[in-house]
Structure 1
Amino acid sequence: MKLAWKRGTALLLVLVMIWGLCGCQKGKSIRFTTGLGDKELFKIGDEVCTRQEAMVFVLSQKKNYERSYGKEIWDVKIYGEPFSAYMRDNLQDFLAKMKCMVLMADKYKVELNDEEKLRIEQAAETYFEGLPENVIQASGIGEPDVKTVFHDYYVSNKLMKQLTADVSTEISEDEARVITVQQIFLSTEDLSAEEKEEKRKTAQKVKEQADAGADFAVLGKNNNESESFELQIARGDTEMQFENAAYALSTGQISEVVETAYGFHVIKCINNYDEQETAKHKTELARKCKEDRFYEYYDAFVKTIVAEYNEKAWKAIDYGQEFGEPQTDFYEVYDQYFGAEIY
């Protein structure tokens, strides 16, 4: 049921969404044919992506997730395959998109000034100096590879900024408003008309008890048929009937019985304006406005791409492999030199 969705940091949601740390995953994925060298993962136009470049991202992802979840994370099954394979597939899409954006940067005349070129060189040097010798040997990464990665990542950011410079990102407080509610849900799925009417009567009784001062949490414990009792939601997260009723409430108010395609709901508003989460959501919405505009350009460009893909080289990338632990992190170094800019 859609209403069981909850904003937060549950492990499954983290596993599904982690590639957001690397960049946007919207747009058409790219699949390639074979015919490259052992260390070449793919070629798009004149742009070649090597295993060493990919390893810069692998090392940072591996370091971050093993610290949070342990080395066993790579064997966790997600969508029926090991998490390591899931990450590798996402890495393929991400790197392909980044290389496409580098090609697009040429088309749209994105140029780097001397100061930007210097920062790229400094960032690459800082990152490479933080790699112990055993990590360098195991990963095969060289300083030129690191410089290429920082260059491509920065150029991709600059391209997106240039193509979306005129996009309005003004989002109203109400449009971005995040609220917290509690719900008592009675399912009507696969019920007869008579059975649905009985559920409606039960929901109405719950509503009357809540209005009379009964503890809503106790009512929920005794009547709620959803896995979720307390929900933090933004507009668009739930069915329209639920959203309209929830957003009409003030803090502490209880709704009338609300009917959706799934059943009946009695909703209590716990916080009708979570200021901190609303600010975060406003940033997300503004970013989405820019992404939508950017992918109008990107999707059209991808259709013109001819690419080659080295399946054997890709399969050899294993997040579960031991490379040693780098003393540096790509994203941290990028943030140090360029700010928290990710495309």
Structure 2
Amino acid sequence: MAVEWKPGREALFTVSGNEFPMPEAKILLMEYQYGMEKEYSQSGASEFWKQKTQSGETFEEYLKNQYVLDELIFLKTLNLLWEEKKPAEFSPEAEKAAADAGKAYYLQMTGPEKEMSGASEEDAVNLMRQYRKAELMQEALTAHMNQEVSQEEARVISISHILLRADPGDQAGREIARGVAERLLEQIRGGEDFDSLAAQYNQDSRTRYVIARGETEEAFEKMAFSLESGEVGEAVETENGFEIIKVLNSYEEALTASNREKIREARVRSAWQEECREYLKDKSVAVNTSSWENAQLQESQERSEKRFFEVYRTYFPES
């Protein structure tokens, strides 16, 4: 339950009185900002952050409130769960690694980064320690899970398709699209080249796609994943009209392996997040909204060479 913030506290939020320091929050705000800019090739472009998302908020508001703040509340919750459940001891080796990692990160921060965050070396060390405890707590919370993902569930395929568009409510238009699709299928069955017909008739901006389960309409997915490489299926009615699918490769090996790990990670993340939400049900969470709204993004081009999570993984490699 969110409660009103009491002014004068140098923290981003509290969970039942347990604070998350503002300087540590600003370090992570800066790090997530850099990551988002890199992903969208918008490094240093302040106008990017003023653009609106589909929900109507700016990208800066989305970054701060729907991404960073949520992540930090989960981070704090995992650390509170660690202290409460004590699944293991935080070893002297882990403590030393956190201290070394925090120091290494802080020493290579630029002047503008230190000024923006207001962080000290102690803040950087504490942040490294919190992330390690959170990671260990995640493992403890999900150790009982069956984390296996079947090859079939994760399978990724490549396809080519021909879309004959028709609006859902346009019955006459859909009958015409159905007729064209059936005629094209006859031509394909008779030996005409699929790609040539797609170049003529496809009403999608693209002909070829790589898809996994859950990414297309149910009817489309059912047909596509029932076909072997080189096979062409019957015309499928979808929201967009009628579609003819040809499977180019019914098993993209490298992409399937990558998707398998992606599904596994998503399941694990969902599991420990649910544990966190359950823990927070009877806790009061107060957010220092006014100070967070005033927190500035780091616009300087003078940025440190190594990012926080890159340094973290140097000292705490993935198992």
Whether TM-score is above 0.5 comes out as yes
- Find 1:93's aligned residue among 70, 89, 97: 70
In 2, are the aligned partners of 1:74 and 1:319 still within 8 Å (CA)?
no
The answer to whether residue 271 in structure 2 is matched with residue 271 in structure 1 is: no
Residue 103 of structure 1: which of 50, 55, 80 is its match? 80
Alpha-carbon distance, 1:95 to partner = 0.9
Single out whichever of 74-83 and 259-268 deviates more from structure 2. 74-83
CA RMSD of aligned residues (A): 2.2
Alignment of structure 1 residues 139-218 onto 2, 5 Å? 139-218=117-196
- Please say if 1:84 is aligned against 2:55: no
- Judge conservation of contact 2:160–2:209 (CA < 8 Å) in 1: yes
CA offset digits 1:231-252 (Å, max 9, x no partner) = 2111122222211211121212
- 2:124 is paired with a residue whose SS is helix
TM-score by length of 2: 0.89
Distance across 1 between alignment mates of 2:158 and 2:100? 45
CA distance 1:45–1:74, change in 2 (3 Å): same
> Relative to structure 1, is the Cα distance of residues 98 and 36 closer, same or farther in structure 2, using a 3 angstrom cutoff?
farther
Deviation at 1:331, TM superposition (A): 0.8
- The amino acid of 2:64's aligned partner reads R
Alignment of 1:55-66 (within 5 A): 55-66=26-37
Aligned-pair CA distance for 1:261? 4.2
Count, aligned residues? 312
Cα separation, 2, equivalents of 1:142 and 1:320: 17
State the secondary structure of the residue aligned to 1:339: coil
2:50–2:59 Cα contact (<8 Å) kept: yes
Unaligned runs of 5+ in 2: none
Q: Distance in 2 between matches of 1:320 and 1:131?
A: 12
Distance apart, 1:65 and its partner CA: 4.3
Give 2:14's aligned residue: 43
Choose which of 296, 300, 303 in structure 2 pairs with 1:318. Answer: 296
Q: Which of 194, 204, 222 in structure 1 is aligned with 2:200?
A: 222
Deviation at residue 210 of structure 1 after TM alignment: 2.5
The structural deviation recorded for 1:138 is: 3.5
State the one-letter code of the partner of 2:44. Answer: K
Equivalent of residue 217 in structure 2, options 216, 239, 255? 239
Report the residue type matching 1:251 in the other structure.
Answer: S
Q: Percent identity?
A: 27
Name the SS for the 1:308 alignment partner: strand
Query: Which region of structure 1 is more displaced relative to structure 2, 68-77 or 330-339?
Result: 68-77
Query: 1:251, 1:272 within 8 Å by CA — same for their partners in 2?
Result: yes
Equivalent in the alignment of 1:8: none
Alignment of 1:277-288 (within 5 A): 277-288=255-266
> Under a length normalisation based on structure 1, what TM-score does the superposition of the two structures give?
0.83
> How far off its partner does 1:229 sit?
2.3
Residue 43 of structure 2 corresponds to 70
Distance 1:257 1:137 in 2: 61
